[in-house]
Amino acid sequence: MNPPLFYINNNRLYQFQNETYIYSVNVLNHTEPGLLFPDSKEIPLQLVLDTQVGGVRGGAFQWKGTKLFYEFPGVGRGSNSGIYYSCSLADGTSGTFMFMQSYVPPVRTSTYIN
Q: Domain segments of the chain: what residues?
A: 5-113
Percent of the chain topping pLDDT 90: 37
Give the alpha-carbon dihedral of 21, 27, 28, 34, to 10 degrees.
Answer: 120
Distance between first and last Cα of the chain: 19
Helix segments in the chain, DSSP class H: 33-36
Tens digit of each residue's pLDDT (9 = 90 or more) over 49-103:
999 999 988 899 999 998 999 998 765 568 888 988 888 777 788 889 888 876 6
pTM value is 0.80
